[in-house]
Amino acid sequence: MNGNAEAKLIVSVMVLSLGLCFMAKAGMETVWSHDYGTDKAKDKANLEIVKDKLAPGGKALRLPFVAGSVNLPGCNAADLLLAGPVTFVAHVRAEGLIGLSQEFSLKAALRDQKDGEQYEASTMVQVTRVPSDKYVALTFHVGLIQLPAEPKRYRLSIARGWAGEVKDRTPVVWVARIEMKANGKKAAYISEVDPDKVCYRPGQEIKTRVSVVNPTETLFEGMVIVEERYGLETRNVVAKQQARIEPGKVGEFSFSWKAERPEAGREVHVTLLDNAGNPIDNNNAYFGIARDPSFLVTTGQFAGGMYPPALKLKSQIRAARQMKAAGQHRGEVFSWSYCELGSFMPPEGEDPYLGRQMPTWVSLKGMKRGVRLMKEIGMTPISYLAGPAWGIAAYELYQRHPEWFVYSEGGEIGMYDMENRAKYMRRDDFEFVPYNWCLFWGELDATNPEIRRYIADQIIKVAKEMGWEGGRWDVWNMGVGMGSRTIVGKLIAKTGEEADRLTAESLRALKEMVAKALPDFTWGYNMVAPERNATTPLTMAEKCRGGGWLLDETVCSYYKKTSPYHYWAAYRDRIIGWNDHCRKLGGIYNPYPLRRGGGKYPVDRLYESIICQAGGGRYGAYGPYENEAGLVGRIGRMVFRYSELFFGWNYDLQKEDQKLVQVDAPETLWWKQMIFRNKSHAGRPQTIVHLVNSPVSEEVEENPGSLVRLPVTNVKVTCFKDEGQLPQKAWVVTAEPMTPDGEPEVQAVPMKLAKEKGAVSVTVPSVLFWKVVVFEY
């Protein structure tokens, strides 16, 4: 398959990906349902239909805890003719569940009866939302099914799953009824809104395709209006088109407009008007505009599906689809190269090549395709840069230039394994089995101009040939170690201060060399924790300069009892405080999750996510904790949509004894350590107050049930004058419901300001987990 043909395939598949809001749309109707009140099915496989006075139909499916997954009786159907968005609503009550524990889930699957493609949606049942004494309608929140725009026939199945360990309690979930909602045949509807990229650089053309289905038996005539929304108030109509769609047909409408600053996350909101100008449907999607898409990361940073060795076309396309659907902006690929600084690229014609840190056969073609796919959907592909030179190319580089490498005080060099070298030389033998560690690695002397030039050329070459738009250093980043020496024993840096200065100088020089060839190439780093930088202020400043991506891996060990930061309050202040420091130096802070994958329990992942994002950080590595079923909401989406409130360079942490804001709330509500001054896109001063219903446990990973506090209600937030001015407007920005009985929704709700003497105030109806109050002057 040639490049163009492949690209077309990608685009056609991309039609399926969308970032729709998860609420059932107003035009949706129930197209299938099953009511256990009228079910005559007999008990089977631990699924019993029981009398239940609380159930609307008098009976419900009783699902006590039995680990595993089982299909629900009565929830199988075939020949369902469907198109566009589809979701499910389950009427449930529950007993014996605790906190945000991920114990009970419902999963619906629609399988295309012709091509077998399967689409899934699911929800958790959690005590934060579902009571025991009444049934509530629970929308399936995760993975609203977006079917292709063209109507097709599908087969339905719904399953329940119990997971985890249950001790000293017997959780039970009752399901009274399940409904499937989709657009019916009464009126035309928007089946799809599809911007072609997740992020656009300023000046690029934004292309958005809108599909409208006319399921009626009459001609549809109307108008499609496209709006771009960002910030708290901005709504710009960017395009309009007349729509004329024959009965039973799908209309495709293409829109394009130019991406313009400010750099921000955005919503493209599409309204369908009828011939009389009345809105009959709307739909939306999200995209960003940023010079560097990493600036808007809210959904993780690693391009998992693009890692070698899994580089099959099909799996890469699936990975790209998933990343686009999730709105992922940054696609970092860990340890993929031939020999890192030895030579990122394999020798001409060597495909597959034996590369990576733990040597693996890698498809060069597959790697290049993965990078291209990420760029096609607007992500920024980032190459991991381990730092040292390694592998056979580095070994050969050493042979030519032993004076380029640094040596320890004892005269030793990085590491080497001559047996692995001998094995590598026999790599073309069919019987060859890759060894488990690289054969050589060494660090280069970054102070040497000749070496800087070599490193810059390596990076320029790999960026040009592979298409990387940035590199993220890991264990070494032009570092000069105190005490390291040249081959003849000359000390490179005598003191820590000198080492810091030389490192910063070397890094800066390299960046400037690369920028001459690749002005937009971006940089990222590891080892940016304050603990690691107490004596390296110049290096830290250079890492931050110009939007450096700062992966703080030290954080992942804070779950340990030996760490002073395993207390939530200390963790919060450490993350938010250092985030502020990094931002003021121009860096983008990316604290790594506890244990790398996130804390042990859901509640740990929730508070890690809140703390990081409230501080303006980009939560790595795989995106924040989001949970609509449990009413937490899509907090990552909220941060993206209102990015000016979190990611702005003017976001300025205030000291705890600040005089700008007073909050009347119990001590368990965090706010004092989370007040910021900021400026809107329009340059208007803002005061931002984060209200966080604090963790139940003082320490991380000490809440196995993921218990949460009751919502704090009627929180009065008072804002005093700033530079002689009182706020003129206020909003509550939230992903959770405004009140506990509502649906979670990413929104900015304008608040009425109550004027007091020298101050204004708003009263926030409730804080379940995290709400943000914004005062604007």
Partner 1 sequence: MKRARDKRNRITFYGVALFLAVLGFAFGDVKLAEETIEGQTAYRLENERVSLLVNPAQGGNVTSFKDKKGGSVELVHQVPLKGLCMDHFQTQRWPGEMLAAAYTPKVIKQSPAECVLQVSYEVKGDWQSASFPRLSGLLLEKTYTLRAGNPVLECKVKFTAPRNESKLFSYWLQNVFFAGGQYEEKTDVSFRPSIRGVRRKTLRDNDRYGREDWVNDFSDGWMALLDTKAKTGLVVLSDYHLMNCSYANGGNVSLEPMYRIQYLPPKGSAEYITYIVPVTGLDNVVAASEDYVIGYNMQSDGKGSGSVELTAVRALNAPKKLALDPAVVSVDDSNQVAKIAPVVFENLGEAPQIKKITFAGAGKDPLVLRVRTTAEAADGKTFERSFEDYYNGTYAWGENIQVDMTTPCYVGKRPAQEMRLQKPEVMQAGKGGRYNFWYGEGFMDNMYDIISSIRLTSRFNEGKTLWQRAFVANNGAFGNRLSAFPYDYDELLKYNVIILGGVKADALNAVGIEMLSDFIAAGGGMVVLGGPMAYSFSGLAGTKLEEMWPVSSSKSPFAIKPMGDAVIEVAEKVPFLQDLDWSRAPRVKYLHAVTVKPWGKTVLTVAGKPFLVIGQMDQNKGRVACILGAPIGAMDRGKTPFWEWSDWKYLVRQLLWWAERNDFNF
- Choices 377-385, 541-549, 562-570, 769-777 (CB under 8 A): range interacting with partner 1: 562-570
Q: Does 402 bind partner 1 (CB under 8 A)?
A: yes
Stretch that binds partner 1, among 168-176, 219-227, 275-283, 394-402 (CB under 8 A): 394-402
466: helix, coil or strand?
Answer: helix
Contact with partner 1 (CB under 8 A): which of 246, 412, 457, 756? 412
Stretch that binds partner 1, among 10-18, 201-209, 406-414, 448-456 (CB under 8 A): 406-414
Q: Are 524 and 473 in contact (CB under 8 A)?
A: yes
The β-bridge relationship of strands 279-289 and 199-200 is parallel
349 near partner 1, judged by CB under 8 A: no
For the CB of residue 554, give the shortest distance to partner 1 in the complex, in Å.
6
Q: Which is nearer to partner 1, 570 or 759 (CB)?
A: 570
In the complex with partner 1, the residue whose CB is nearer, 595 or 684, is 595
Q: What is the largest CA-CA distance in the chain?
A: 88
Residue 413 interacts with partner 1 (CB under 8 A): yes or no? yes
Smallest distance from partner 1 to CB 308, Å: 21
**CA geometry: angle at 214 spanning 208 and 219, to 5°?**
115
**Shortest distance (Å) from residue 460 CB to partner 1:** 22
Cα separation, 477 vs 523, in Å, equals 10
Hey, how many other C-beta atoms are within 10 angstroms of the C-beta on 337? 29
| Size of residue set near partner 1 by CB under 8 A | 39
Radius of gyration of the chain (CA): 28
Query: Which candidate, 86, 286, 291, places its Cα nearest to that of 183?
Result: 86
Closest to partner 1 by CB, 398 vs 676, is 398
* CB neighbour list of residue 485: distance below 8 Å, 6 or more residues apart: 406, 407, 408, 409, 411, 491, 492
Q: How many CB atoms lie within 10 A of CB 421?
A: 16
CA atoms of 256 and 241, how far apart (whole Å): 11
Q: By the 8 A CB rule, do 765 and 752 touch?
A: no
Closest CB 577 distance from partner 1, rounded Å: 15
- Whose Cβ is closer to partner 1: residue 5's or residue 488's? 488
Based on the shown chain and the rule CB under 8 A, indicate whether residue 334 belongs to the binding site for partner 1. Answer: no
Task: Give one word for 723, left, alpha or beta, with left for phi > 0 and alpha for psi -120 to 50.
Answer: left
Q: Is 485 in the site for partner 1 (CB under 8 A)?
A: yes
Query: Which of 208, 420, 643, 686 is in the footprint of partner 1 by CB under 8 A?
Result: 420
**Chain length of the chain:** 777
**Using rule CB under 8 A, residue 426 touches partner 1:** no
Are 294 and 380 in contact by the 8 Å Cβ rule? The answer is yes
Strands 264-273 and 189-195, by their bridges, are unpaired
482 binds partner 1, rule: CB under 8 A:
no
Q: State the Cα angle at 355 between 358 and 588, rounded to 5°.
A: 80
- The answer to whether residue 419 forms part of the interface with partner 1 (CB under 8 A) is yes
Q: Residue 327 and residue 316: Cα distance in Å, rounded? A: 16
* Distance in Å, CB of 734 to partner 1, minimum: 34
> Tell me, what amino acid is at 57?
G
* 450 near partner 1, judged by CB under 8 A: no
CB of 407 to partner 1, least distance (A): 8
**Quick one: which of 189, 407, 568, 646 contacts partner 1 (CB under 8 A)?**
407
Q: Does 592 bind partner 1 (CB under 8 A)?
A: no
- Assess 411 for contact with partner 1 (CB under 8 A): yes
d(C-alpha 386, C-alpha 406), whole Å = 16
What's the closest the beta carbon of residue 416 comes to partner 1, in angstroms? 5
Distances (CA, A) of 524 to 255, 304, 469, 507: 35, 18, 11, 12
Q: Which is nearer to partner 1, 119 or 416 (CB)?
A: 416
Amino acid at 71: N
- Does 31 engage in binding with partner 1 (CB under 8 A)? no
- Asked if residue 416 binds partner 1 (CB under 8 A), the reply is yes
Q: For residues 394 and 342, give the distance between their C-alpha atoms in angstroms, rounded to a whole number.
A: 4
Residue 481 binding partner 1, by CB under 8 A? no
Per CB under 8 A, does 473 bind partner 1?
no
Q: How does strand 353-355 pair with strand 360-362?
A: antiparallel
- Collapsing DSSP to helix, strand or coil, 463 comes out as helix
Residue with tokens 């795989």: 622
Site string for partner 1, 238-257 (x = CB under 8 A): --------------------
x/- string (CB under 8 A) for partner 1, residues 521-560? -----xx-x-xx--------------------xx--xx-x
Distance CA 82, CA 110 (A): 10
Q: Which is nearer to partner 1, 116 or 410 (CB)?
A: 410
Selected binder of partner 1 within 2, 218, 562, 725 (CB under 8 A): 562
Q: Measure the CA–CA gap between 767 and 691, rounded to whole angstroms.
A: 7
| Residue 604: its H or E element | helix 602-614
For partner 1, the binding residue among 417, 652, 722, 743 (CB under 8 A) is 417
CB of 28 to partner 1, least distance (A): 49
Cis amide leading into 449 (omega within 30): no
Stretch that binds partner 1, among 71-79, 367-375, 487-495, 746-754 (CB under 8 A): 487-495
* 422 is an interface residue for partner 1 by CB under 8 A: yes
CB of 402 to partner 1, least distance (A): 4
Contacting partner 1 (CB under 8 A), which of 229, 240, 375, 401? 401
- Helix 449-466 and helix 364-376, axial crossing angle in degrees, nearest 10: 70
Whole-angstrom CA distances from 66 to 45, 257, 405, 525 are: 10, 53, 60, 46
Considering the complex, state which of residue 509 and residue 527 has its C-beta at the smaller distance from partner 1. Answer: 527
Q: List residues near partner 1 by CB under 8 A.
A: 398-403, 407, 410-422, 475, 485, 487-489, 526-527, 529, 531-532, 553-554, 557-558, 560, 562-565
